[in-house]
């Protein structure tokens, strides 16, 4: 259970979508490394757009 202040909670809630999008980008990179096929190129999430950039792998960009 969260025991911080209301401001700390709001900050964490604001950061969570971006952090989850970054974690998804890492997972997509790992899946691609298995050689199971190409992704569709991008996913739109509340935390940003996850894009597959040639030579850079999966990255998160703001909307």
Which string of DSSP letters, residue by residue, matches 30-60?
HHHHTTS----SEEEETTEEEEEETTTEEEE
Residues listed for the chain: 63
Can you give the pTM of this predicted structure? 0.59
Q: Would you place residue 8 in the very low, low, confident or very high pLDDT band (cuts 50, 70, 90)?
A: very high
For the chain, give the percent of residues with pLDDT over 90: 21
Q: Would you place residue 36 in the very low, low, confident or very high pLDDT band (cuts 50, 70, 90)?
A: low
With contact defined as beta carbons under 8 Å apart, do 57 and 29 qualify? yes
| Model confidence at 3: pLDDT above 90 | yes
Q: Which of 49, 2, 54 is nearest to 25 (CA)?
A: 49
């Amino acid at each position: 259970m969260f025991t911080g202040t209301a401001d700390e909670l709001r900050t964490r809630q604001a950061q969570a979508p971006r952090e989850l999008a970054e974690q998804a980008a890492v997972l997509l990179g790992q899946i691609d490394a298995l050689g199971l096929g190409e992704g569709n190129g991008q996913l739109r999430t509340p935390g940003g757009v996850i894009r597959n950039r040639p030579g850079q792998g999966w990255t998160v960009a703001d909307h």
